[in-house]
Amino acid sequence: MSTTVINIIVAFVIITIFSKIILSIIIEKGKYEKRLRKYVFFENIKKEKDVSQKEKKFFIRKAGKSLEAFINLSKNEKLLTQSGVKLSLGELLIGRIIVGVLLVMIGYMYNLHFLLLIVCGAVGFYVPIMYVKKKRKKRLNACSNQLGEALGTMANALRAGFSFMQAMKMVAEEIDDPLGPEFLKAIQDINYGVSVEDAFASLLERLPDKELEIVLNTLLIQRSSGGNLAFLLETMQETIIDRSRVKDEVNTLTAQGKMSSVIITLLPVALAFYLKLVNPEYFQMLFSHPLGWTMVIVGCINIVLGWFFIKKIVHIEV
């Protein structure tokens, strides 16, 4: 058996023992549905789950809840809620640790330098957060795209004689995730005695979209001042649809610049890994001389600065 395989097995055993010790020390269990209690006052609905699936996920959920109670992870709580990812804070932390350890082990298999192993661990620890942020951005974009359709549905319902709450319920039933389920949570808040203002504020915390904020503020003003709500909704629908069209045009025009930022950023890294695999002795010279370390540091700084400036150039607010 090769030395690399033995080292991997030893590392796996150490990580397993370490995780077992942590889970045995942590005995306090987090309360059920802690992440959503500050946002929604809801009743127990649609909780029919397969018993076998519960048993399979029992240990990971217990470990996640325990870590959530033991370590202060509240800084990612709102991010998880806005992204719609069905993970607790403890489960997210466990996933970050696992990904970081896996990248370090992969780098160790290829005999990477110690500092590069640290970089691999840091990148792996941050990758799940990047995934959650990407899901959050995708969810907010979907909300913005659904808003025009939702306003049209509400306007048609009001013209047909439905009340405002009935129109919101129709949106909750007919519009897909994320806007439909979030409207349903707002309706549940109002039914449980929460004021409309507070229910809309909670909705904005879960979906912090600028266009949705404008719509909700306009609805609150209309409720206090009066007026033709159906006509107001149709006007906002036209405005939001025009904004969406302009956004699509801007995204089309800046797509080349965004792709350039990705290629320019990843090309030096990919070339470095290629040289490491093809000719390790030639690549190792960068880390065996002070001039090589200087070139690596300056190159990394230039890569980050180039990515930053290109992102600033192609980022256009609509």
Instruction: Answer whether residue 49 is part of any domain.
Output: no
Mean pLDDT for 85-113 is 84
Residues 148 and 222 in one domain: yes
Radius of gyration for the chain, computed over Cα atoms and rounded to the nearest angstrom: 25
Quick one: 307 exposed, middle or buried, by C-beta within 10 A (0-12, 13-18, 19+)? middle
Mean pLDDT of 274-284: 83
Together in a domain, 271 and 202: no
Domain boundary (220, 247, 274) is at 247
| pLDDT at residue 24, rounded to an integer | 52
Picking from 187, 215, 247, the residue at the C-terminal end of a domain is 247
- Compute the average pLDDT of residues 53-63: 58
Task: Kindly state whether residue 165 falls inside one of the protein's structural domains.
Answer: yes
Grade residue 38 by pLDDT with cuts at 50, 70 and 90.
Answer: very low
pLDDT value, residue 96 = 87
Last residue of a domain, one of 200, 219, 247: 247
Residue 55 resides in a domain: no
Q: Do 175 and 268 belong together in one domain?
A: no
Q: How far is CA 179 from CA 141, 151, 169, 248, 312, in A?
A: 11, 11, 12, 20, 30
In this model, does residue 301 exceed pLDDT 50? yes
Residue 27 pLDDT class (50, 70, 90 cuts): very low
Residue 190 CA to chain centroid, in angstroms?
27
Same structural domain, 215 and 284: no
Domain membership flag for residue 269:
yes
Is residue 43 over pLDDT 80?
no
Residue 167 — left, alpha, or beta (φ > 0 → left; ψ -120 to 50 → alpha)? alpha
pLDDT at 10 over 90: no
pLDDT at 41 over 80: no
Q: Which amino acid is at 174?
A: E
Which CB contacts under 8 angstroms, 24+ apart, belong to 247-255?
A: 247/144, 247/318, 250/316, 250/318, 254/314, 254/315, 254/316
Q: Are 105 and 13 in contact (CB under 8 A)?
A: no
Domain assignment present for residue 56? The answer is no
Does the residue 94 lie in any domain? no
Residue 271, domain extent:
248-318
- 184 pLDDT band, cuts 50/70/90, is very high
Asked if residue 256 and residue 213 are part of one domain, the reply reads: no
Q: Is residue 168 part of a domain?
A: yes
Q: Determine contact, residues 15/101, Cβ cutoff 8 Å.
A: yes
Residue 163 maps to which CATH number?
Answer: 1.20.81.30
- Asked if residue 9 has pLDDT above 60, the reply is yes
214 within domain boundaries: yes
C-alpha count within 13 angstroms, C-beta hemisphere, residue 169: 10
Q: Which of 244, 247, 243 is nearest to 255 (CA)?
A: 247
pLDDT bucket at 31, cuts 50 / 70 / 90: very low
Q: Does residue 298 share a domain with residue 227? A: no
Total domains, the chain: 2
Tell me: do 162 and 205 sit in the same domain. yes
DSSP string over 185-205: HHHHHHHTT--HHHHHHHHHH
Which range (36-50, 165-179, 219-233) has the least confidence?
36-50
Report residue 147's pLDDT band, with 50, 70 and 90 as the boundaries: very high
pTM: 0.68
The pLDDT value given to residue 68: 56
Tell me the C-alpha distance between 283 and 273, whole Å.
9
Q: Which is it for the CA torsion 91, 97, 101, 107, positive or negative?
A: positive
Residues 204 and 254 in one domain: no
| Burial (Cβ within 10 Å: 0-12, 13-18, ≥19) of residue 288 | exposed
Q: 9 vs 172, which has greater pLDDT?
A: 172
